[in-house]
Amino acid sequence: MTITKAGIAQQESVELSVVIPTFNERENIVPLVERLRAALAGIAWEVIFVDDDSNDKTVDVVRHLSLDDRRIRAIRRVHRRGLAGACLEGILSTSAPIVAVMDADLQHDETRLTAMLAMMRSSRIDLVVATRYGEEGSSGEGFNRIRQAGSQMAIGMAQRLLKVDTSDPMSGFFMVKRALIDELAPKLSQQGFKILLDVIASSPTPLKIGEISYVFRPRIHGESKLDASVVLEYLGLLVAKWSGDLISPRMVLFGLVGLSGVIVHLTALRLLLLAGFAFPASQAAAMLTAVVSNYTLNNSLTYRDRRRHGARFLTGLVLFSAFCSVGVVAGTGVSSLFYTREPQWWLAGLAGAVIGAGWNYITSSMITWRRSG
């Protein structure tokens, strides 16, 4: 800290900001901060924990530590979820010229930060990736065999579809110039877990990328956030970047949910027809069944960052169903017309499903999961 001529105390300018997204990582905060203090001795640094309103009050631990160390900061996000969005918000909140992103689960090797910073200082590169697949790197300790195979498959897809030139585009541990993120921020998705891949794929010109190997450690506390929704979000990001952002990741997820809704719709329709119900009644019931299925899946997957819980889940279902009833009426009328002219149950059912899906997308984006909700 220095004193200006006006007698105003000023903090030493920060060279490196470490951004760490958190969700229910309370037990990892203190040991992680202690490791950062040891690893970054002699460097002007700060750490920003961006917490998605954890149930275990992770942010309270961070705030307690910040009382004695002003290098530690916390951002609490309410009604917003997603690792990518948390990372972006943390990066944009700092004035440090260089930013590192790492996880709070102690699996990333914080001792590699100094080597990464040295590479950023000495080379004209845009970002440094801490890779698990370099000469001295390893992911075997932190991954089981299934996750190891899944990670390598995801890396292969990114390298082939998006021509990404790094050995570990799925890494959550990297260092980047904040000016680059300032430039790319409008193009970056706030959904998903793989912000590094998004940064690399969103750049209009090829980035100069360096790599530092590290050994991926096993998790000690807490649980992994990887689930089926993360996999689907990753596929959505791949399609979005492959299409040049013409198709958003959310639109891809909505389409996949809609496809499952078509299967649910046709299955219910067939069963009701086999049970002897008339086609109009069967079609209406099948469409309503698909509406409930689509709402539940979209709430869990497509709009997980705006997910409705408890009573809001039920009110959302009522709201969604009420607006979708317009699509049900229109879809039933169109499909009944198809059925009278061409009595192919699957073709008529598909026509009704398409009408309902279009209306459902409009109501989902504008009403049921609007951002203010």
- Would you tell me how many other CB atoms lie within 10 Å of the CB of residue 27? 17
pLDDT over 70 at 127, yes or no? yes
Burial of 129 (0-12, 13-18, 19+ CB in 10 A): buried
Instruction: Give the per-residue pLDDT at 373.
Output: 44
Rounded (10°) angle between helices 58-66 and 26-39:
40
- Give the model's confidence band at 247: pLDDT under 50 very low, under 70 low, under 90 confident, else very high: confident
Pick the more confident residue, 97 or 343: 97
CA dist., res. 187 & res. 195, Å (int): 11
Q: Which residues pair with 210 in a beta bridge?
A: 128
CA dist., res. 143 & res. 216, Å (int): 8
Place of tokens 């990333």: 108
pLDDT tens column, 291-342: 889 889 888 878 877 788 888 888 888 888 777 776 666 666 666 666 666 6
Mean pLDDT across 223-242? 65
pLDDT over 60 at 140, yes or no? no
CA dist., res. 322 & res. 318, Å (int): 6
Instruction: Give the per-residue pLDDT at 287.
Output: 83
- Give the model's confidence band at 261: pLDDT under 50 very low, under 70 low, under 90 confident, else very high: confident
Mean pLDDT across 32-61? 95
- Give the model's confidence band at 72: pLDDT under 50 very low, under 70 low, under 90 confident, else very high: very high
The pTM for the full model equals: 0.70
- Give the model's confidence band at 168: pLDDT under 50 very low, under 70 low, under 90 confident, else very high: confident
pLDDT over 50 at 90, yes or no? yes
Helix (H) or strand (E) holding 74: strand 72-76
- Contact between 240 and 160 under an 8 Å Cβ cutoff? The reply is no
Strand ranges across the sheet with 72-76: 72-76, 45-51, 16-22, 98-101, 174-177, 127-131, 209-213
Amino acid, res. 243: S
- Give the model's confidence band at 8: pLDDT under 50 very low, under 70 low, under 90 confident, else very high: very low
pLDDT tens column, 11-23: 569 999 999 999 9
Instruction: Give the per-residue pLDDT at 301.
Output: 79
Place of tokens 């190997």: 213
- Give the model's confidence band at 42: pLDDT under 50 very low, under 70 low, under 90 confident, else very high: very high
- Give the model's confidence band at 84: pLDDT under 50 very low, under 70 low, under 90 confident, else very high: confident
The mean-pLDDT minimum among 34-38, 164-168, 340-344 falls in 340-344
pLDDT over 70 at 262, yes or no? yes
- Give the model's confidence band at 3: pLDDT under 50 very low, under 70 low, under 90 confident, else very high: very low
Residues 6 or more apart whose CB falls under 8 angstroms from that of 362 comprise none
Cα dihedral: 158, 161, 166, 172 (round 10):
-20
